[in-house]
Amino acid sequence: MTASRPSDLRTRAIVGVALICVAVAALLMGHILFWMLVSVAGVLMQAEWAGLIGADRKARRLSMFAISVPLAIMAPDPLAAGPSFLSVGLLMGAALFVLAITRSVRLALGIFYVGIPVLALLFLRAQPVGVTPGGLLLAFWALGLVWATDIGAYFAGRSIGGPKLAPTISPSKTWAGLLGGVVAALAFGFALHQLAGLPARFAAACGILAVAAQAGDLFESAMKRRAGVKDSGTLLPGHGGVLDRLDGVVTVAPLAALLVAVPGLL
């Protein structure tokens, strides 16, 4: 693996911290701003997905338009219906529309790959205080454990090294990095348990969710390898595209929402 230059690492760190600050600010400033942020991210992710599967410019724009409809309906009250089963139906409709027009199954699947995580994050943010720990804490938990996993995996992988996790897909990832990510996610979860009242079952689930985050990272790496590109986009200096930054959230958010929606799962 080629070592990253100090300037590259500095850029990556600065952009990473800035993105976390933007996400936290949107969470704190209310449902509508958070919906706006994740919806914009969703449209950009759909564009990058289309690029990874080799869709032409017309098909890419069509898929971006298609996913914008269910994302708009996910806007919180009083703007729209908010995250609900209606949103799932609209995502299915958008996927069928893309499939009918483009005849591309993979492009249509991108609607679900992008739309379900957005719906899950909005579902978590919409949880009322009292019934659950509250939407602000739950959404921060889902996002924060991915950030913790990435940080833990990065530093454990660089300092320990060792056997590769999936050398044919992502040569830089190691088993030590995976373990470091799991430990960091668990530490984050139990810190939230102690400091903010996150239920212990959600804190304990951070270990499993950290593995899911790494799986999401590997899946996107496989997509990029198949497409013959290093990054899904160029929007974020040091990180690549939006999909590159949110690949772990794609897998973690739906699982976290499922744990909240079905308490008996854990």
Q: Where are the domains of the chain?
A: 6-265
- Write the DSSP string, 156-204: HHHHH--SEEETTTEEEEEHHHHHHHHHHHHHHHHHHHHHH---HHHHH
pLDDT for 2 equals: 39
Residue with tokens 């760190």: 13
- Could you list the pLDDT tens digit for every one of the 266 residues in the chain? 334 555 677 887 888 899 999 999 999 998 999 999 999 999 999 999 999 999 999 999 999 999 999 999 999 988 999 998 899 999 999 999 999 999 999 999 999 999 999 999 999 999 998 767 899 999 999 999 999 999 999 999 989 988 999 999 988 899 999 999 999 999 999 999 999 999 999 999 999 999 999 999 999 999 999 999 988 988 888 778 999 999 999 999 999 999 999 987 77
Name the DSSP class of 169. Answer: T
Q: Report pTM.
A: 0.93
CA distance 81 to 65: 19
Quote the tokens at residue 104: 């591309």
pLDDT for res 3: 45
Q: Give the tokens for residue 8.
A: 């590259």
CA–CA gap between residue 260 and residue 91 (Å, rounded) = 21
The answer to whether the Cα torsion of 87, 88, 92, 93 is positive or negative is: negative
pLDDT of residue 85: 87
The pLDDT score that the predictor gives to residue 77 is 87
Q: What are phi and psi of 173, to 5 degrees?
A: -90, 140
